[in-house]
Amino acid sequence: MPPRFVARQLSHPSGFLGQVFGRLMNRHNARLNTFALQQLPLTRHHRVLEIGFGGGAALEKLMERAGFVCGLDRSETAVQTAENRYADQMAVGCADFRVGRVESMPFDSGEFDWIYSVNTIYFWPSLDSGFRQIHRVLRPFGSVVIGFLPKEHMDRMGMPPDIFTTRSIQEVVTALDRVGFHGIEIRRPSPETQWVVVVAVRS
């Protein structure tokens, strides 16, 4: 498949091929998702939002532990697939899925205890606008968990720069600090691991 077509499907899955790419990305992101989920000490009292859930690899694990799980994705295909799969949870008020973008999230302020996102920040138009919205919809002392492949590794993949915006660890940390997060930590399972998980607390 042409590289630009692949990049577009990764950034915005659509149609049948979007579902196929979602399943492929679930496998590709499995280790990162597993580690990132370990950073969320969820209980049944917590409300959690996943931004850019794509193929839905983390949704089932989140639902096993949290009282309410919400998913936001700019792909209508991803949202429709999640709504079909988790119709029972939605019917009893334990889950909700929305089409939307991180820079203009359709939620009230202070709705969530935790916000989780893996391999999405490459598609945000602005780290500041995204983290500002995340700060807004988190409750005081709520936390955000962001997993991604840093710029020095992502650049080697040769993704189209008009679709993928690579981000350095320092850029992410600086943006989180600038919009009011604190206790920012960089976590990875080993020093050799290329991807990282950043955890920060809303002030």
pLDDT of residue 23: 54
Coil, helix or strand at residue 116? strand
The mean per-residue pLDDT over the stretch 78-91 comes to 96
Residues 65-80 have a mean pLDDT of 95
Distance between CA atoms of residues 2 and 94, nearest Å: 40
> pTM value?
0.87
CA distances from 77 to 50, 80, 103, 151 (A): 16, 5, 20, 28
User: Using the 8-state DSSP alphabet, how is residue 17 labeled?
Assistant: H
For each of the domains in the chain, give its residue range(s) and CATH number, in order of start: 3-202 (3.40.50.150)
